[in-house]
Amino acid sequence: MFTFSQMVDEIVSEVKRPDLASEVARYLNQTIRECHFTTDRQAAVFFQNNFYETLLTSTANSGYSWTLPNPTTFQKIAGVKYVDQFTQGGDELWAVETTPGRHLANRTNYFYQVGNSFVFSGYGAVGSRIAIGYYAFPPSLKYHPQASRPAEYDPETGWTYHQSIVTPEDQELAQLVSTNWLLMRWSTVVSEGLRAKIYKRISDTERARNCYSLYGQLRQGLITSEVSIVSGIQ
């Protein structure tokens, strides 16, 4: 279990290269993002821990659109339900993801992406509700020197915070900007991927190769244990 800054400190100390702290931090963010693809990078991985839900209320009778709250972390929409609409049989109405074009002339219940926004059709009118489930990558984290570090975690004693952070709300925010579920639950996977990169950077080829091999094995265990859906969402 690690915060982002604590893992950077550990690897910098291990390789005895404090001058590479910025690179280690960059490699760590890269490794976290890398874990969201299969080891051969042929398919995306969708973890349930990265699943979010939002409920929109339309402000237009047609063509209502939703702009992604954070385009840099968005992965994939898992499903869109038109809450106030039902099929002829009385079942819930789920929209189908598609692309814009002539083929939509005779279709009504769909949505499609335009840049950083999604456009919906068939949801009803002004005031109708649209429920969206989607996956997003963990946001990139920043390295903080110990003196200004928002939060640290010790498996034996738990969380400690910077002296300026006292309210429960601020403590929760400090945790969010300090770590994520991969660093807390799968730190060994992430640290081996990070070691493979930094040892390659300092031309320690044998260690880089060994770490990368172990990283691949551990990463497969992560995917097997935590995966929600691989290679597309129906």
Helix (H, G, I), strand (E, B) or coil at 41: coil
Query: What pLDDT score does 29 carry?
Result: 98
Query: What pLDDT score does 41 carry?
Result: 73
Backbone angles phi, psi at 11, to 5 degrees: -70, -40
- pLDDT, tens only, 176-194: 999 999 999 999 999 999 9
Mean pLDDT, to the nearest integer, of 102-122? 93
Mean pLDDT, to the nearest integer, of 203-210? 98
Confidence of residue 232 (pLDDT cuts 50, 70, 90): very low
Confidence of residue 53 (pLDDT cuts 50, 70, 90): very high
Summary mean pLDDT of the chain: 94
* C-alpha span between 164 and 205 (Å, rounded): 43
CB 138 within 8 Å of CB 181: yes
Mean pLDDT, to the nearest integer, of 163-181? 97
* C-alpha span between 111 and 160 (Å, rounded): 45
Please state whether the predicted TM-score (pTM) of the whole model is above 0.85: yes
Higher-scoring residue by pLDDT: 54, 227: 54
Query: What pLDDT score does 39 carry?
Result: 81
Query: What pLDDT score does 134 carry?
Result: 97
